[in-house]
Structure 1
Amino acid sequence: MSIPHSSHWGAFSAVAADGGVQVLPHPDDPDPSALLGNVAVAATPTARVLRPHVRRGWWEDGPGPDERRGRDEFLPVEWDELLDRVAAEYRRVLDAHGPRGVYAGSYGWASAGRFHHAQSQLHRFSHVLGGAVRSSWTYSHGVGEVLMPRVVGSQEPLISPTSWTSIEEHTDLVLAFGGLPAKNSEVASGGISRHEVAGRLRRARERGAEFVLVSPLRDDLAAELGAQWLDVVPGTDAALLLAMCHVLEAEGLHDAAFLRRCTAGSEEFLATLGEFTPEWAEGVTGVSAATVRDLARRAVRGRTMVTVSWSVARTRFGEQPLWAAVAFAAMIGQIGLPGGGFGHGYASTGGVGKRAGSYPLPTFPQFADPLRVRIPVARIADALLHPGREYDVDGRRETYPHLRLVHWAGGNPFHHHQDLSRLQRAFRAAETVVVHEPFWTATARHADVVFASTTTLEREDIGAARYDDRLIAMGRVHEPLGQARDDYDVLAGLSRRLDTGERFTEGRTGPEWVEHLWEEWRTGPAARAGITAPPYAEFLAAGEFVLPPEPTEKVMFASFRADPDTYPLRTPSGRVELHSPTIAGFGYDDCPGHPVWLAPEEVPDAEFPLHLVANNPATRLHSQLDHGATSQAGKVAGREPVRMHPADAAARGLRAGQVVVLRSRRGSCLGGLVVSDALRPGVVQMSTGAWFDPVAGAAAGVTCGHGNVNVLTRDVGSSRLAQACTGQHATVQVSAFEGDPPRVTVFDQPS
């Protein structure tokens, strides 16, 4: 029997088969994602945590910082015995240190379901206990989450920018900084039933829209769009944008009336542009001065959309290219026009640019957080290594709490975080690390307690996303493997032992909660929005519920543009702030009060002469199901592929298909070489998400033997404003690996 289900990369149906499942894409999806090919492996024992485990040192010697964490052996234990032990550890930490001693950040994309959302589950659990330290913002677009409210008064450019429909129908020129990569548009948080981005871009091109790709990687935009490719030096997007602003001001092409009416601080900003000439930019970016002038002039001839990918801002000083793009869009006077202005994250996921529903979706309630202590998500290693240290963020002076117990569910920080050797030291500084994991990822292997968690295929849930038009009845495809339990059942067991069980569960089982969430939504928000949704039993029988259509065209800041006094932005001035007195008042030398050029602190040199671009993978979502068929088919010599320009490969005597070593100032890893002219000379590209394998690395004399690129990247904040992730770039050297490469061990069961 075919059972409907959903994932962050697409809705599908699954049929249980001998030894696994067969996965079929949703019949209404015009362009299903190849990532569905990874799903079937989740139904097999490969790399699965089949019963709860503990690290021997923690089990026998008790909690405390431990250099054995990540190297110790694991012991299988019984559920009740382990739950008793973890509950006792919670009591110890809470009694001695209070909720500030517990970290329940739990950042992850484990399930597209509305109930089995691991972060919500863990937050509810911690809130009924009195709270815990949590994380703020995201690894993906932390810069935008902090900067955009300061500059345009909200996160609308991230959450609900001008729609794809408007771009498809009205835009003449798309300036794509960081590109519009189709691989990223295959994914959307909460699920995506129809993949439409590639088709919309194609139709815009057929109508006559032109595209300019600003990226060191040519395939950051589909070849069929015929884009002009500007293969910029990585990390120099802000320099190019400021030089284009210089051209507008110097040649009188800027929209002075729009700047007077709709911006604040334009005089201060314009006064800084004199030094950013096209000739200066040519030396920084590698883009000719003539091309810089041509781009600026073309932008004012028609309707222009300036889009900045999340990746462009995921760098040191990443605030600057994003703010400079806003400034350029303001100077050409197109903010608030159909198909014009700027956006942040188009094609970074499939949801950006889709109209969001105007009503809430079914949501597992988390209760209010009694503690309300946050750290920036990308600063977890700092917090664990330096408790009590002060740091700046978004105008505040904060102090890292002393985190004793780390509780993680639904995520893999050994994928998301940078400088994994440093993260290993940070995990070893904790007193207890508890994780919920279906698989033996590096996060599980660096924990003390590993709760064997079910996968989404083993659960019932409601799949829904604010950018999608249907809710999916996610049926249980197969029974849990081994002794795996739902996160909810694990947390309910802990809650009962900590005398908060009744408040956490409200007397409901997991399946009862799923039905309750549906009925509460059906009779509440849906009914108030005029939506007639069926009872839960009928929803299950149908397999999905299609929502009524929303208006397809949306123009960001259209009302503000029409009447900025009646519809002001939520900035201090009510306008787009090209100079922010608030940010200037913070006194941050790494993020002053207006867009500037701040040169990268790490640049190629004789020891590490190559730019590394560490982007999102095309064969999986983050690190999920790296052992799946699609992900494994993309490996080269059993490692994560690393791409290099033919000239750079020839200069090092390297050939396609061989195992190579990448080294940076932080660490080293093996990779499988791909030689390609689709990237700028002097640039190598390696995607994130290969499972960290220090065991195979030790055998090879490197940090990771499988190809986790984050052993190479820097663990430092974007600036004191956002303190966001900077894992997009590094400098490296690449050489041949001598001898027989070690076998990848990370998919094996641990000892």
Structure 2
Amino acid sequence: MSQIKEIVRTTCPRDCYDACGIVVLKRQGEIVRVKGDPEHPVSRGTLCGKCAIAYNGAWRDRTKRLTQPLKRIGAKGKGQFAPISWEEALELIAVKLKTILDRNKSDYPPHTAKGNPILHTHYTGTCSLIAGAFPLRFFNRIGATEVDPDTVCNKAGHAALEMIFGDSINGFDPRTAKDAACILVWGANPSACAPHAHKHWLRQAPGKVIVIDPIRHPTAAQADLHLQPFPGSDGALAFALLHVIQRQGLINEQFLANYTLGWEEILPLLPQCTPEWGEAVTGVRANLIEKAAKIYASGPSLLWLGQGLQRQLTGGNVFRACSLLPIFTGNIGKPGAGFLYLNGTENRGIDSDYIAAPHLNQGESASISHMDFAQRLEDSVNSQVLFCWNNNIVASSPEQKRLRKVLAREDLFTVSVELFATDTTDYADIVLPAASFLEFDDLVISYFNYSISAQVKATEPPGEALPNQEIFRRLAAKMGFTEPELFESDGVMITNLLKQTGTVLNFANLSKIGTVNHTAEPVIQFAQLKFPTPSGKIEIVGEHFEKAGLSRAPQPFADARPTNGKLRVLSPASPWVMNSSYGNDAKIGKRLGEAEVLLNPQEAQLKGLEIGNTVILSNDTGELTLKVALSEDVPCGVALVYKGRWPKLDPNCANVNVLNPGKKTDLAESSCVHSVEVEITPINTITSRTKPSARNNILKTALCLRHVAFEDLGSFEPILKSYGYQVTYLEVGTNNLRAIDPLETDLLVVLGGPIGVYEVNSYPFLIDEVALLEKRLAADLPTLGLCLGSQLMAKALGAKVYPSGRKEIGWSPLILTEAGKQSPIAELAPELTPVLHWHGDTFDLPKGAIHLAASSEFQQQAFAWGKNCLGLQFHAEVTRQGLENWFIGHTAEINSTPNLSVTKLRADTQTWGATLEKQGAVFFKRWLESIEEGTPDEKTSLL
């Protein structure tokens, strides 16, 4: 096979905090693999699971892509099209636009009382700077009415922070976490939406991590403290935390007096907001409120405000209340302190107006909320043309049933710019094929890290597909426009944008590096303690809030809970799709499995429901048929349904947005999708599979080969179950291993035992065990070998396994290789924990394996094979309680080993056991997540 001849370094531009570095491997001009960039400071050599699958699946499969312009030939919604040329497609669009624009040239752009009847909707299908915003130049030129993209996502939070601080897009620099004693993550799920921040940044932060979220997602599960309020009660919880902070004397009155307005009006509200009151209102135990408040207020502390937090009826008040924490503790303007909602392009020097060119709009700008979108489309006078680009409105907008109906209007001329044939393109009159991020140059600005990244063209677009910006350049030319801004090239724009950032790098140099930080040192948020508000101070209260429809001061209240047996629906991001992106990938579809609603077991029992029952979730807006799954990660009173499924790929022909009535938050006409309420009605009682965790979307199996009855998975077993694995032990000495299909189970774990791999005469089952492993490892399926298990893996891979002539029994640290430091084994680094050793045999490193760790006594302590297989000579799974059984079962070996005794082992276990249980769990979760992502930690195996 010919070798890789070319590596292209680029950046993922998806709607994600991480903005991961990517390397594209090419052979003879063709892409053979898209994978994580090992030199990228955030992704560190891996892609998240969804991108690893999709970028090597549907996004590289040209048969799945739209490759030429299409014209509708059937009924709207049927997806029936005929191919046409670019010339014809642009001409049809231009004629329609000119007809509208020419109707009243004296009123240009044409506006009715509700704005221009030409509408466009867009969002973050790509977050690269040019492809994501250059088309706005065209829409500004024709004065089109924008469906405000932020109203479907995060506008209430932006509006609240801008009113308080004067700014919502210049948050803390994540690099300042090194100085933070606490990181509070409120209403965000990094494990799904910022997987590398979850995997690396939070885990390696020196301070305590507190998560506040109604769902016990993986980030919450790994946190030092998790507070689980009922949805809608976050504002009340913030005031309960402030009560404790005041009582403990931790309010920074000097900071308040110098840099804020209105803080005195908050103080009278605090005495009533005791932790006990907070527990009654939010469901969070009073002692946890006490503990969280003291940790945060002791500081310095960072506050990460998630976008999901403000998608509630009173999202504006919630953000105002939560913002009081950094204000009242003075956690602003110093290292390790601050808050973050989103980090915008401006804090890298980018002028967003340069990209969008709003000056091209010759009339008054007009926009509507996504919450009013379906209603607006029912008005044929005020909605005559609709452009959809960078989003899939049928999957992501509210009032899904109503929206479908109005999109079917024959007199609504609809243009869709897309990569794939989505539910939205099915309603278009003209479909224009767009290029993917792998097919053109651009820049990516992370909305979390203070970075600047190159998006580099790695291949040609399929067929006649074009980048967004080129499509609208050609349409502008067809319209006869002459403004130079409408035709500025990508190369010129990239050069100008890089100059704005202040970097000395040109695009060619940046392309070689991939990603650079905007500043050498971490940026301190509001370092000068000057705020871009009218007063120059933080404005906690004021008339401007009342003018916006809020109370003068933030209030300590919670939204009313559902009544009459209704449930609050939460529809967060799934780990396997990005909003609606990737939903058409076949492998992603398998990961998603059948559409489900996750309920707390107590809630299900109360409603007479069991796992696998089919139920209907319904309200006045719509209904959705789902299977019941149970998870203690979900609180009572809540129905968890992941967002992002493609309606046309689901038996419902709908997703969770069919239940969203499009109600608005208390601020900025934004979405309050997490305040949707439904009734749940069973329609049968057919039981299928189990579902123990909200962390996964399909049931998985873990088969454990056991050699002695008293050795088991230890601390790993509850983790496996929490990640949705059904654990089965198989006793190798008494079961027929030849009857086992080595490829069937999702995870195979081979445990230890006091025998040698070479003792086949005494233990003939070892022959079958090695044969089973040979097939398993050849298929590169997730496999973990512990002690004897690692020796069996080495034997199956052709390596020599032999007695060493000495024993290594007891507690001592590992010595990590450079590869080990970049792998999950890094969680067992010597500065974090020793591990337990218990062996006398050793082995040579198998050919092709990656050496991860040694000890002071033995060279081979850990190795990786392929993408999903790991051999550990040592024990990271043991628990203090479980080792008491070892001390009995292995008593003969202990007593025959010089300088060893049960007393010494027990004493060392009491010293180190708890530490290993904690770090072993962190290691095992990280390894599980790496195999579930569909890609290993590949830093050492780029090629």
The bucket for the TM-score relative to the shorter chain is 0.7 to 0.9
Match of 2:505 in 1: 533
Match of 2:12 among 7, 16, 20: 7
Question: Aligned pair 1:580/2:539, yes or no?
Answer: no
- Sort the Cα spacing of 1:731 and 1:249 in 2 relative to 1 into closer, same or farther, 3 A: same
Call closer, same or farther: CA 1:600–1:220 in 2, change over 3 Å.
Answer: farther
- What are the superposed Cα offsets for residues 598-654 of structure 1, whole Å, 9 maximum, x if unpaired? 5436x423352x2221112211221112122563242123x3x43322333455565
Letter in 1 for 2:210: V
Aligned-pair CA distance for 1:668: 2.1
Q: CA–CA distance in 2 between the matches of 1:487 and 1:468? A: 26
Task: Identify the match of residue 165 of structure 1 among 170, 175, 181.
Answer: 175
Is 1:636 the counterpart of 2:593 in the alignment? yes
> For the aligned residues, what is the CA RMSD?
3.7
Structure 2 counterpart SS, 1:116: helix
Aligned to 2:414: 433
> What's the counterpart of residue 203 of structure 2?
202
The alpha-carbon distance between structure 1 residues 26 and 694, as it changes in their structure 2 partners (threshold 3 A), is closer
1:109 maps to which of 124, 128, 139: 124
Distance 1:335 1:6 in 2: 32
Does the 8 A contact of 1:238 with 1:324 survive in 2? yes
State the AA in 1 paired with 2:404. Answer: Q
SS in 2 for 1:320: helix
Distance, in Å, in 1 between the alignment partners of 2:366 and 2:259 is 34
Aligned to 1:440, the other structure's residue is in SS state coil
Mapped pair 1:96 → 2:103 = yes
Q: In structure 2, do the counterparts of structure 1 residues 465 and 221 end up closer, same or farther at CA, with 3 Å as the change threshold?
A: closer
Q: State the distance in 1 between where 2:509 and 2:602 align.
A: 58
Q: Which residue of 1 aligns with 2:52?
A: 36
Q: Which string of whole-angstrom CA distances, capped at 9 and with x for unpartnered residues, describes residues 271-321 of structure 1? A: 334544434332221123444344434444443434321111111110112
Q: 1:555 aligns with which of 511, 515, 524?
A: 524
Change (3 A) 1:577 1:491: closer
Shift of 1:425: 4.1
Deviations 1:95-117 (A, max 9, x none): 23616434454322233544333
Q: Secondary structure at the match of 2:209?
A: strand
In the alignment, structure 1 residue 724 sits paired with structure 2 residue 707:
no
Q: What per-residue deviation string (whole Å, max 9, x for no partner) do you get for residues 12-40 of structure 1?
A: 23346899852122121414322232113
* Aligned partners of 2:614 and 2:686 also within 8 Å: no
Letter of the structure 1 residue corresponding to residue 202 of structure 2:
L
Contact 2:8 / 2:458 at 8 angstroms: preserved in 1? yes
**Tell me, what secondary structure is at the counterpart of 1:271?**
helix
Distance 1:166 1:547, change over 3 A: closer
CA contact (8 A) 1:662 1:734 kept: yes
Amino acid at match of 1:143: A
Contact 1:168 1:201 in 2 (8 A): no
Q: 1:571 aligns with which of 533, 536, 554?
A: 533
The partner residue of 2:456 within 468, 474, 480 is 474
Aligned counterpart for 1:234 among listed residues 231, 235, 241 = 231
Map of 1:454 onto structure 2: 435
Aligned to 2:554: 595
CA contact (8 A) 2:643 2:656 kept: yes
Contact kept, 8 Å, 2:180 with 2:299, in 1: the verdict is no
Q: Distance in 1 between matches of 2:431 and 2:302?
A: 47
Which amino acid in structure 2 is aligned with residue 288 of structure 1?
R
The answer to whether structure 1 residue 23 and structure 2 residue 5 are counterparts is: no
The amino acid of 1:42's aligned partner reads W
Corresponding position: 1:408 with 2:398: no
State whether residues 492 and 504 of structure 1, in contact with CA within 8 Å, keep that contact through their aligned partners in structure 2. no
| Contact 1:49-1:438 at 8 Å conserved across structures | yes
In structure 2, relative to structure 1, the CA distance for the partners of 1:309 and 1:127 (3 Å cut) is closer
Mapping 1:176-187, distance limit 5 Å: 176-186=185-195
* Among 312, 316, 326, the residue aligned to 1:329: 326
Partner of 2:637: 682
CA deviation profile, 1:418-449 (whole Å, cap 9, x unmatched): 22123334535673221112212121123232
Corresponding residue SS for 1:472: strand
Equivalent residue pairs, number: 659
Q: Tell me: CA distance 1:316–1:71, structure 2 relative to 1, closer, same or farther (3 Å).
A: farther
Structure 2 SS opposite 1:500: coil
Question: Residues of 2 paired with 1:521 and 1:604: CA distance?
Answer: 49
Residues of 2 paired with 1:339 and 1:422: CA distance?
Answer: 47
CA offsets per residue over residues 562-587 of structure 1, 9 Å max, x none? Answer: xxxxx3x232333222212222245x
Corresponding residue to 1:604 among 545, 562, 573: 562
Q: Write the deviation string for residues 120-177 of structure 1: whole angstroms up to 9, x where unpaired.
A: 22x222334455546364533211221112111222xxx2322223233232x33332
Equivalent position amino acid for 1:199 in 2: H
Note closer, same or farther for the CA distance 1:10–1:500 as it changes in structure 2 (3 Å cut). Answer: same
Q: Secondary structure at the match of 1:665?
A: coil
Counterparts of 1:282-681 in structure 2, within 5 Å, are 282-344=279-341, 356-358=347-349, 364=355, 366=357, 368=359, 369-381=361-373, 384-385=376-377, 402-428=382-408, 431-463=412-444, 465=446, 467=449, 469=451, 471-472=453-454, 474-481=456-463, 483-500=464-481, 503=484, 506=487, 513-520=489-496, 524-525=499-500, 529=502, 531-534=503-506, 538-539=508-509, 543-544=512-513, 547=516, 550-560=519-529, 567=530, 569-586=531-548, 588=549, 591-600=550-559, 603-606=561-564, 608=566, 610-628=567-585, 631-637=588-594, 639=595, 641-651=596-606, 656=611, 660-681=615-636
Instruction: Give the residue type in structure 1 aligned to 2:53.
Output: G
User: CA 1:240–1:599 in structure 2 vs 1: closer, same or farther (change >3 Å)?
Assistant: closer
What code does the residue aligned with 1:715 have?
G
Structure 1 distance, partners of 2:178, 2:329, is 20
The answer as to whether partners of 2:157 and 2:315 remain within 8 angstroms in 1 is no
* 3-state SS of 1:198 partner: helix
Conservation of the 8 A alpha-carbon contact between 2:123 and 2:149: no
**Distance in 1 of aligned mates of 2:434 and 2:125:** 11
Q: State the alpha-carbon separation in 1 of the partners of residues 353 and 538 from structure 2.
A: 35
TM-score, with normalisation over the residues of structure 2? 0.63
Q: Which has the higher contact order (CA 8 A, sep 6+)?
A: 1
The aligned amino acid for 2:373 is: A
Shift of 1:718: 0.8
What amino acid sits opposite 1:216 in the alignment?
P
Tell me the equivalent position of 1:49. 66
Match of 1:120 in 2: 134
In the alignment, residue 23 of structure 1 is paired with which amino acid? V
| In 1: Cα distance, 2:563 partner to 2:421 partner | 38
Alignment partners' CA distance in 1, 2:253 and 2:128: 48
CA separation of 1:694/1:664 partners in 2, compared to 1, >3 Å: closer, same or farther? farther
1:101 match: secondary structure = coil
Contact 2:573 2:579 (8 Å CA) reproduced: yes
* Residues 632 and 269 of structure 1, relative CA distance in 2, 3 Å threshold: same
* Partner AA of 1:370 in structure 2: Q
1:211–1:667: structure 2 CA closer, same or farther, 3 Å change rule? same
- Name the SS of the counterpart of 1:87 in structure 2: helix
Looking at structure 1, the residues matched to 173 and 504 of structure 2 have their Cα atoms a distance apart, in angstroms, of: 26
* Paired residue secondary structure (2:528): helix
Contact preservation (8 Å) 2:116, 2:382 = yes
Structure 2 unpaired stretches of 5+: 1-5, 14-18, 105-109, 688-943
- Does the 8 A contact of 1:473 with 1:544 survive in 2? no
